[in-house]
Structure formats: C-alpha cells, structure tokens
Structure 1
Amino acid sequence: MKLFVYLVLLSLLCASADMSPIFEGGRFAWDAARGAWDMFRAYKDMREANYIGADKYFHARGNYDAAQRGPGGAWAAKVISDARERWQSDVSGRGAEDTRADQEANEWGRSGGDPNRYRPAGLPSKY
C-alpha cells in the first residue's frame, strides 16, 4: 500500500513539472492515479483469488486496465511493474525466469493485448 501511495504522489509531481506536452498537466496526473488504482485492484484481486497459475493473468490485466487510461496510466503501470519486478528479483529471491515471464505479461497488457491470454482454466469469472 505504501508503494501505491508513493507512486501516485510521484506521478502527481512529475505531471506538474512541465516535462512534455504529452503530460498535459492534470490529465496525465489523473490518468496516472487511476492507472495506479487499476494496478492495486489487480493486485488485490490476485491476493483474494489465491489461484495457482493466475499470477501472469493479473499482471496483464492490471497493466491493460491502467494503460487504457492513457499515457499517465501506462506510465504508472510501467513504473509499478518495474518496481515490483525489481523487488521480486532482488529481495524475494524469485528467479530471473519468473521475472522475465512477469514482465512479458506486463508488457502484453500495457500494449493492449487481451489479458485472457494468461487466464488459467478454472479461474472464477468474478476475475
């Protein structure tokens, strides 16, 4: 949760700094905040589902939903995904192969790919 709050605040600071016309000030910040929320919701659903083999689906879904918000959402999804994968590879001891597969799912969702590509059979339709 602290990471989520930190990233939302960071997105607001970056958006308020006149970095590029694509940021469009408040719109970028709003999209980034909503994208960060999409990422958090996917993470929360993943934890709630606790379904073996569904990890990549939730990675793709969170990135997809966030990227649909626009440039700010896509930016938030990339920042959050990269930070999460860096933490997993550095701290949690998960292997490079798992990190690579997670990043593939992240990029697939962010680029507009259907998250259901990674949906495991039997995952409740609620998700």
Structure 2
Amino acid sequence: MKLLTGLVFFSLVLGVSGWFSFFGEAAGGAWDILRAYFDMKEANYQDSGKYFHARGNYDAAQRGPGGVWASKLISSVREGIQKLTCDGAEGSVAQKLANDWGRRGKDPNRFRPEGLPDKY
C-alpha cells in the first residue's frame, strides 16, 4: 500500500513540475519574441522583418514545447490584429514562412538581410 501511495504521489509531483516547466518555457519564449521585436525596432533596417520573426521564433522554440506554444499564440494574435487593421497583408505570407522556419529550429540567418549589423 505504501508503495502504491508513493507512486501516486511522485507521479502527481512529476506531473505538476511538468506544467511548471511548460509555463516557464512559454514565458521565456514570449520574452524571446518580444526581444526580437525590440531588436527589429532598434535596428530599423530595411527588409529585416522576416529575419527577426524567424530569430524570435527560433529562440522561443529552443526553450521547448512551451516556447513553441507561446510563439504560435503570439504570431496568431499579431496576424489577427493585422487582419483587423488591414495593415501588412501583403507581407503576411512571407512572415508566416519565416515564423514557421524559425519554429522548426532552422537557421534564421537564411532571412538575414545583407548589411544588417552583427549586433543582431
């Protein structure tokens, strides 16, 4: 009986810690997306949007499933806002491609524009 109680207790603890891990990854992933956005605004470099989208999603995905979830959620919300405001519809397909590219763990430098400072 004690063995069964112990197994149930440890499975509950491990399950709860898994959720804490997921939410930690999600928070870190959201921060990665936000940091890429701030870098994009700071750089103010022509045709660099796809690179920063790919980089933000890549960094978030490296954190784990929570980071991937956060990057998908943030991207969906941003795209929804763009549709409502009719802003940037022409670049939406290219941004989705860059988001998916980074989220799959592929190198975001594929979208890096020539001449973008090494700081980014």
Q: Which structure 1 residue ranges, 5 or more long, are not aligned?
A: 1-20
Contact conserved, 1:89 with 1:99, CA < 8 A, in 2? no
Contact conserved, 1:67 with 1:74, CA < 8 A, in 2? yes
Given the alignment, which residue of 101, 110, 113 partners 1:117? Answer: 110
**Which structure would you say has the larger RCO, counting Cα contacts within 8 Å and 6 or more residues apart?**
2
Shift of 1:113: 1.0
Shift of 1:85: 1.5
Q: How high is the TM-score relative to the length of structure 1?
A: 0.79
Percent pairwise identity: 58
Q: How high is the TM-score relative to the length of structure 2?
A: 0.83
Matched, 1:62 2:67: no
Contact conserved, 1:56 with 1:102, CA < 8 A, in 2? yes
Matched, 1:24 2:13: no
Q: Secondary structure at the match of 1:24?
A: helix
Shift of 1:24: 2.0
Deviations 1:71-106 (A, max 9, x none): 0001000100111122122214222x3111111100
* Deviation beyond 6 Å, 4+ runs, structure 1: none
Q: Which has the larger radius of gyration?
A: 2
Deviations 1:45-73 (A, max 9, x none): 00000000000000000000000000000
Instruction: State the partner residue of 1:34.
Output: 28
Number of residues of Structure 1 aligned to a counterpart in Structure 2: 105
Q: Which structure 2 residue ranges, 5 or more long, are not aligned?
A: 1-14
Given the alignment, which residue of 43, 55, 65 partners 1:71? Answer: 65
Instruction: State the partner residue of 2:82.
Output: 88
> Aligned-residue CA RMSD in angstroms?
1.4
